[in-house]
Amino acid sequence: MKLYKNFDIEDRFPRTMTIGNFDGLHIGHKKLIEESISIAKSLNQKSSVLTFFTHTANMNNDKIKYISTIEQKLKLFEDMNVDELFMISFNEEIKSTKAKDFVKNILLDRLNVQNLVLGDDAKLGSDRLDINGIKIICDELKLKLFKLDEVDVNGKRVTSTLIRNMIMNGIVGEELLPYLGRTYFLEGEVVHGNNFGKELGFPTANIIIDSNLVVPKYGVYYATCELDGDLYRAGINIGNKPSVENSYFGVEAFLIDFNENIYGKRIKINLLKHIRDEIKFSTIDQLKHQIGLDIKYIKELYKNGD
């Protein structure tokens, strides 16, 4: 996959392109991209995706948290075998460009796009033209438009907003899979914490995650962790640790049957099931007892293949 960070290219090869924020690359996004690839191959064109470093709604603030980081997004696109990706900064110039000017001056004149593949809810340009308005422009400029209908699962339209809300409500693993199309995961570096877990007999790895990501519902999760190419069962705590003095938000992983120094290493956390909400215990002994029950339950889940 070739990556472009601007529209200054010399290659005039004909392109089939799809455009969007593509946060999370859920099954609706994948359908668009797969259709673009299929059309491009049938016409001996390049399959191209145009997306942005930041969500278009976050031009002036950070009100939308992301499902995936830029690095994760790049890897997901690459795994889909897209020929080329235009990942562009959504700046004032692009934001203020009307749909017709964007289609003519950028898609046609600069990128030689001959086929445009969009979802039925697409919006384009500063004038926010919907799919019907975009169709009129494409017909006028002789650009072929392919419109794909919405993707529904269990009667719900699959959108990034829906998936963010599911994650924030602790819906992960098998429940999220039909919508996202993959296991939801977090990645980060293992850093030093307050060693409180170690004092309780449950040493945890403290993970720094990207602050721009959506935060899953606070509580305890069953998960698997990928570290140095190996996979481990784990209990994950996400939240403010209300039973601990001077606590703060954090993501902690207790890797079962594992006792090695992994500070400074990157770890991938595959969230499989939300076990319970965050609880404030009256005593440390109550907290320790509950952690023991959580770990026992996680081992049972793993044993049963859940």
**Domain coordinates in residue numbering, the chain:** 2-150, 174-303
pLDDT in the model for residue 280? 84
Name residue 63's amino acid: K
Q: Is the pTM of this model over 0.95?
A: no
One fold for 2-150 and 174-303? no
Distances (CA, A) of 248 to 137, 212, 286: 52, 17, 20
pLDDT tens track, the chain, 306 positions: 999 999 988 888 999 999 999 999 999 999 999 999 999 999 999 999 999 887 666 555 557 899 999 999 999 999 999 999 999 988 888 889 999 999 999 999 999 999 999 999 999 999 999 999 999 999 999 999 999 999 999 999 999 999 999 999 999 999 999 999 999 999 999 987 665 555 555 678 889 999 899 999 999 999 999 999 999 999 999 998 777 766 778 899 999 888 888 889 999 999 999 999 998 887 888 888 888 899 999 988 887 766
Name residue 279's amino acid: I
CA 27 to chain centre: 12
Quote the CA–CA distance of 213 and 228 in Å, as a whole number. Answer: 23
Answer whether 190's CB lies under 8 Å from 267's CB.
yes
Answer whether 222's CB lies under 8 Å from 301's CB.
yes
Identify the CATH number of the domain defined by range 174-303: 2.40.30.30
Distances (CA, A) of 105 to 7, 9, 65: 11, 14, 31
Other Cβ atoms less than 10 A from the Cβ of 305: the count is 5
Answer whether 119's CB lies under 8 Å from 148's CB.
yes
Q: Is the Cα torsion angle 86, 92, 93, 96 positive or negative in sign?
A: positive
What stretch of H or E contains 253? strand 250-255
Among the listed residues 108, 64, 93, 96, the one whose alpha carbon sits nearest the alpha carbon of residue 213 = 64
Identify the CATH number of the domain defined by range 2-150: 3.40.50.620
